[in-house]
Amino acid sequence: MGLFDKLKTLVKKKEKQDSEEIKIYEKGLEKTRDEFVSQLNVLGIKYTKVSEEYFEELEELLIMADIGVKTVVEFIERLKKRVKEEKIIDTKYLNEVIIDELFIIYVEGQSLTDKINEAKDGPTVILFVGVNGVGKTTTIGKLAYKYNQKHKKVMLIAGDTFRAGAVEQLREWADKTNSLFYGKENTDPAGVVYDGLEKALEQKVDIVLIDTAGRLQNKINLMKELEKINKVIEKHIPKAPHETLLVIDATTGQNGISQAKSFKEITNVSGIVLTKLDGTAKGGIVLAIKEEVNIPVKFIGLGEKAEDLQNFDIENYIYGLFKDLM
């Protein structure tokens, strides 16, 4: 059984279970699916046989889905190699091979789902980074809700101390999600994190979610600030933060990849949260980030509701994109 058939079987199994998760993926990736798959179908009608012209138009289509030029060029090469080796002529069958290869791009040498690294003892500390306006504070709130549903004791720490309204916004999310909160405005972020962690240890908190400033204009200052925050965290809790999650707005496309490269230079990013994926037809950015920055996507935002922040699952993602071809 080929990879495509295995994926198809897994998906059918999930569909039968009528899982809420798969419905969220299906709805959240609707814009990309409508745009991408309908054009892929048109391409299959226009070219019933595989040709150089077909590949040229396919390449353009993949770039438009924001998969990224570098990734697309390598992908087309791999596709051509398989077409030659397997003597593929029919473009309809080639669709299966395309799904197959896109799946391989993401999972090569990795586990299928990217779990959060949780501490065995004491609180799990998750540090959030990202430029302003990407939905960082909202993501922290939604994640607090997720952990709250699992009956975890959560604390939010407002390390974005100088941006107007940032501390208050996080405090509101703490109230909404029954989480503990620590924050002070217009003061040293590392000091706030220090005091917040002391309270988290006193209160025997399970999960600590820390917001940080998103000023990328001055990389050196931000790097020093994040270094200081990381030292403070490790002083309180050895081997923490357990995760540093970079939040990226999927609607910004390739600009999001530039942000990922910049943040990777200044701090140890362990995972990506892609917000507003439901608001773009360029859902291919998931594959571009993995290929160009080599950081796993841990969560994706597929809607406004708290439950629309989903653990990233490559099978559900591929299904959400290609369900009409399966």
Residue 109 has pLDDT above 70, yes or no: no
Same domain, 93 and 134: no
pLDDT at 326: 65
pLDDT at 233: 96
Percent of the chain with pLDDT over 70: 92
* Residue 116 lies inside a defined structural domain of this protein: no
Give the number of other Cβ atoms within 10 Å of residue 6's Cβ. 13
Same domain, 139 and 193: yes
Q: Which of 81, 107, 133 is the last residue of a domain?
A: 107
* Residue 16 lies inside a defined structural domain of this protein: yes
The residue range of the domain holding 80 is: 3-107
SS (HEC) of 99-135: HHHHHHHHHCCCCCECCCCCCCCCCEEEEEECCCCCC
Residue 239 has pLDDT above 80, yes or no: yes
* Residue 322 lies inside a defined structural domain of this protein: no
Q: What is the CATH number of the domain that holds 69?
A: 1.20.120.140
Out of 17-21, 45-49, 116-120, 196-200, which region has the weakest mean confidence (pLDDT)? 17-21
pLDDT at 275: 94
- Span 213-222, mean pLDDT? 84
Same domain, 40 and 131: no
Q: Dump pLDDT digits (tens) for 73-94.
A: 988 999 999 999 999 998 888 8
* Residue 320 lies inside a defined structural domain of this protein: no
Q: Dump pLDDT digits (tens) for 112-123.
A: 446 888 888 889
Same domain, 205 and 283: yes
* Residue 234 lies inside a defined structural domain of this protein: yes
Closest to 255 in 3D by CA, of 139, 130, 74 = 130
Prediction pTM value: 0.90
Same domain, 143 and 279: yes
